[in-house]
Structure 1
Amino acid sequence: MENIYPEYVTKSAIEGLVKKIKLPAPDEFSQDWEYEVADSSRITEFLYAYENIELNKEERFALMIIIISSFNDAIVEGKAEAELASVIRYHLLQDINIHKNTIYYWSMLDEDELEDCYAVTSFMREIANVANLDDQD
């Protein structure tokens, strides 16, 4: 059976996460809900939900994007914790079959200049390297 990696956040994943972890529902103008609800002060809570709440593949995919976006904000704010980085790294690698496209996205492997990337890009490139994703298209 071919492994199909999630590529985008679905409406059902959003609805599930709104109910399960009390995230704000998207309004009529929301375009990138998973980035709009990112919150660097809630990373620990989001990781707890990832580890302890029953989530389907689509919900895990969406929640991890929220977690990484929140961690990116924490890096920008100078509040990123190494312990949280380790937990995020563990889940990305453990669930690589869900998060491969997310790792690619945040790694920006085609960009040579790190200053043109996200704050979290070097962290994500380490994960891409460990997962041997950096040599694939």
Structure 2
Amino acid sequence: MFFNKETITQVNELLHLKASGDEQEWPLEVADSDRIIEFLYLAEMLDIWFQIRYAFIALILYSYDKYLGEHSDHDKYLWDRIEKLLDRDAGRFNELLNRWALWDVEDDTDLFRLTPLVRTYLTEFQQKHTTGAS
């Protein structure tokens, strides 16, 4: 998952993130579980260019994974909001989501905390779009 420096700079400025734009794994380094509601709100409300929205979604996913590591149970309300954002651009985030799904990993100890949710989302997305296409 690569973001160009212009996109990262725009998102950093929009969210007042303390990042240079040269981070190797930008969304991981700036993820903030305490700001996930703010990130979701802005992603829902702003009419932004797709590349910036893609960066927002990456940041939201990393932040939510961090959130899951800090809380014993996942927040269904937050995850529902994330799913709605993903559905808004149906299928356009699948490459990003497949990175989180880790389909080739079977050992639960080697998964991201977010992996089971992403796998379920992608499976349901595939079923919905395969059934709808018939």
TM-score range (shorter-chain normalised) is 0.7 to 0.9
Q: What's 2:69 paired with?
A: 76
Structure 1 residue 34, shift from structure 2 partner: 1.4
Query: C-alpha distance in 1, partners of 2:64/2:120?
Result: 15
Structure 1 residue 67, shift from structure 2 partner: 0.4
Q: CA-atom RMSD, angstroms?
A: 1.8
TM-score by length of 1: 0.83
Say which of 24, 42, 62 aligns to 1:31: 24
Q: Is the 8 A contact 2:54 2:93 kept in 1?
A: yes
Query: C-alpha distance in 2, partners of 1:27/1:21?
Result: 13
**Do structure 1's residue 50 and structure 2's residue 43 form an aligned pair?**
yes
Q: Is the 8 A contact 1:34 1:65 kept in 2?
A: yes
Structure 1 residue 94, shift from structure 2 partner: 2.2
Hey, which of these two has a bigger chunk of helix by percent?
2
Structure 1 residue 12, shift from structure 2 partner: 1.7
Greater shift, 89-98 or 70-79, is seen at 89-98
Structure 1 residue 27, shift from structure 2 partner: 6.1
Query: C-alpha distance in 2, partners of 1:67/1:48?
Result: 11
Q: How many residues align?
A: 126
Structure 1 residue 53, shift from structure 2 partner: 2.1
Alignment partner of 1:24: what SS?
Answer: coil
**CA offsets 1:43-63 (integer angstroms, 9 cap, x no match):** 000001101123211111111
Q: Is the 8 A contact 2:65 2:113 kept in 1?
A: yes
**CA offsets 1:61-99 (integer angstroms, 9 cap, x no match):** 111111011100111111642100100011112213431
Q: Is the 8 A contact 1:107 1:122 kept in 2?
A: yes
Name which structure has the greater RCO, CA cutoff 8 Å, separation 6+. Answer: 1
Q: Which amino acid in 2 is paired with 1:118?
A: F
Q: What's 1:12 paired with?
A: 6
Q: Which amino acid in 2 is paired with 1:45?
A: E
Q: Is the 8 A contact 1:103 1:127 kept in 2?
A: no
Q: Is the 8 A contact 1:34 1:66 kept in 2?
A: yes
Structure 1 residue 117, shift from structure 2 partner: 0.7
Task: Mark the runs of 5 or more structure 2 residues left unpaired by the alignment.
Answer: 128-134
